[in-house]
Structure 1
Amino acid sequence: MKFWAALVFGLMSFHSYAVNQNYIGSTVSTIKEVTSYSEYGDGDVVFKLASPEATCPSGYWLRKTDPGFQANLSMVIAAYQAKTSVMAFGLPDEIWSGSKGKYCRMYAISYR
C-alpha cells in the first residue's frame, strides 16, 4: 500500500512539474503601469514592472477569458495602487499579439 501511495504522489509531483516548467519568474519589483484594452484587445490587460526581467521585458498580459482572470486582475490592481512588491511568473512562449513588445502571458503573481 505504501508503494502505491508513493507512486501516485510521485506521479502527481512529476505532472505538476511537467505542466508548470515553462514559466519564468521575474525579479521582485513593483508594478509601474497597468493598461486594459476593450474593443481591440477583447478585454486583455497588460502590466509592466518597474524592474523588468529580461525574458519578458515589456511586461505581462492577462486574457479576460482566462480562468482566475478576476482574482489575478484584482491582485495586479491592488499591488499597483499600494506599490506592493510582487513577483510575476510568465510564459515566454505565449507572447501577446496586441503589441510589438514582448509581453509574456501571466501564469501567476505573488506578493513579496
Structure 2
Amino acid sequence: MKARFTEKQNPVTWNMLTDGKVDVTICLNENTVTETYSGGDPENPEDIEQTVYEYDFNQFRENPEKISEETVRASPGKYLKYIPATEKSTEQLLAEQSEQIEMLKDCLLEMSEQVYA
C-alpha cells in the first residue's frame, strides 16, 4: 500500500499502547512528489503547489510477545505486508466447542452401541 504525508516519516515507528499492545508503522522507499491544486479562492485563483512524501506503507497493531522492535527495525521491508493473526471471537469459539461436543457425543454413542450390542 502507498501512503502520502506532508512531512518526512521514519522508516519504523513503534508506539506502546496502554492496553499492552504495540502500534507499528512502516514507511519505506520515500518518493518526493509535488502536487498542484487549483486555487479554491475566487479572489486568488492561482494554483498551489505542495510537496508530499510518498512511501510504501503498512500499519498494524500486535502483541509485543509476537513481534520484537529490534527485528522490525533491522528488517522493516519484511513487515510491509505483515498482517497480525486475528483472535477468534467468543461466538466462533462457542461454535467450535459445540461442534466438538456433538462429535464426541456421536463417538460415545457409537462406542456404547458396540460395547453393549
TM-score (norm 1): 0.30
- The structure, 1 or 2, with the larger RCO (C-alpha pairs under 8 Å, 6+ apart) is 1
TM-score (norm 2): 0.29
